[in-house]
Structure 1
């Protein structure tokens, strides 16, 4: 199955535009409130970078988030997108390659950030998605959404949210929600007949 990187980038960018207010509100509870702006700005920049040519859609995503997006999440998401771009550029442009790249991205994020499952970070959505990816991107998207939802019951042990104690409990981690949006966009493009993938 061919994997349309550009379509995923544009779908993800639109979904984040639509979810911007929610992401901002979630981050105001657990951080400094800039996650929605950072994610939206990074995606807008990635679309422009891609349109200028010279790189793949996911290559543009990785470059933009590594080079231009601040906060803790920018470089970590940049690692994820870069690993997926590498996997998709290896000659197997498919949903399976996307899953392999996501697995490499998870390893890179955990190597750099040291977050584990249960720490209330984007890893809580990404790790289940990676595990489910061999079953298809629909399964990965559902696993990411379920993982993001579970963070509402967790006390943060990493990142800025770890300083606010239980104040952030009751709502999901914004980084995990961002990962769920990403996998939902990928599934919607690769498996367009799938419905009701989450939020």
Structure 2
């Protein structure tokens, strides 16, 4: 098993390009429709920052999403990426470090936003992924996808989607889908022989 954070960044950026239209349409039902643009734009900027040198792949992700990406989820994703970057720095077991960083990121997001599983937010994908990560990143990716898929059944209790009520029910939360895309990208690098179907 190998794990290269640069490869994860580039895989995640490709998935955001491929899923941009679907993410935008999902967010139009539950928010202001900017999530696809924010995720794709943030990942493009992070790739560019990484290519300039002087930072790790997840360090670039963390700084870009904290400093440059707007919307409700931009800073929250920045916290997640920054915690993953911190865990990966100098680690000789990057798969375990990625999982540890994701757990720290979940804790940071919940401290700031107070969302819990069942509130129809990115936490609904991130929390089960973190719980499944000790079994491998493919297991974490499947758990994230299942969690994101389940948000289609939930009425939002947090974030912008809470203002639109039943209108968002029936389709998954875009932030949760974005988390599933991250873990699917990580799994594709760490366990390339295991297929995790894409949500979008």
The alignment's TM-score, normalised by the length of structure 2, stands at: 0.98
Q: CA deviation at 1:87?
A: 0.3
Match of 1:16 in 2: 16
Say if 2:142 and 2:196, in contact at 8 Å, map to a contact too: no
Query: What corresponds to 2:130 in structure 1?
Result: 130
Q: CA–CA distance in 2 between the matches of 1:23 and 1:51?
A: 26
CA contact (8 A) 1:142 1:198 kept: no
- 1:106 maps to which residue? 106
What corresponds to 1:175 in structure 2? 175
Equivalent residue for 2:152? 152
In the alignment, is residue 57 of structure 1 matched against residue 18 of structure 2?
A: no
- Asked if 1:73 is matched to 2:73, the reply is yes
Inter-partner Cα distance in structure 1 for 2:113 and 2:53: 31
Contact map agreement 2:141 2:196 (CA 8 A) in 1: no
Q: Deviations over 1:122-178 (max 9, x none)?
A: 000000000000000000000000000000000000000000000000000000000
Separation in 2, partners of 1:140, 1:118: 18
Deviation at 1:32, TM superposition (A): 0.2
Are the aligned partners of 1:141 and 1:197 in contact in 2 as well (CA < 8 Å)?
no
* CA 1:77–1:46: 2 relative to 1, 3 Å: same
Three-state SS of the structure 2 residue aligned to 1:109 is helix
Number of the residue aligned with 1:26:
26
Residue 195 of structure 1 deviates from its aligned partner by 1.3
What do you get for the CA RMSD once the two structures are aligned?
Answer: 0.9
Give the whole-Å Cα distance in 1 for the aligned partners of 2:116 and 2:90. Answer: 28
Structure 1: distance between partners of 2:39 and 2:198: 19
Summarize deviations over 1:79-136 as a string: whole Å, max 9, x none.
0000000000042341111000000000000000100000000000000000000000
Q: Is the 8 A contact 2:46 2:60 kept in 1?
A: yes
Name the residue aligned to 2:43: 43
Aligned length, in residue pairs: 199
| 8 Å contact from structure 2 (residues 91, 97) kept in 1 | no
User: TM-score, normalised on structure 1?
Assistant: 0.98
Paired residue secondary structure (2:28) = helix
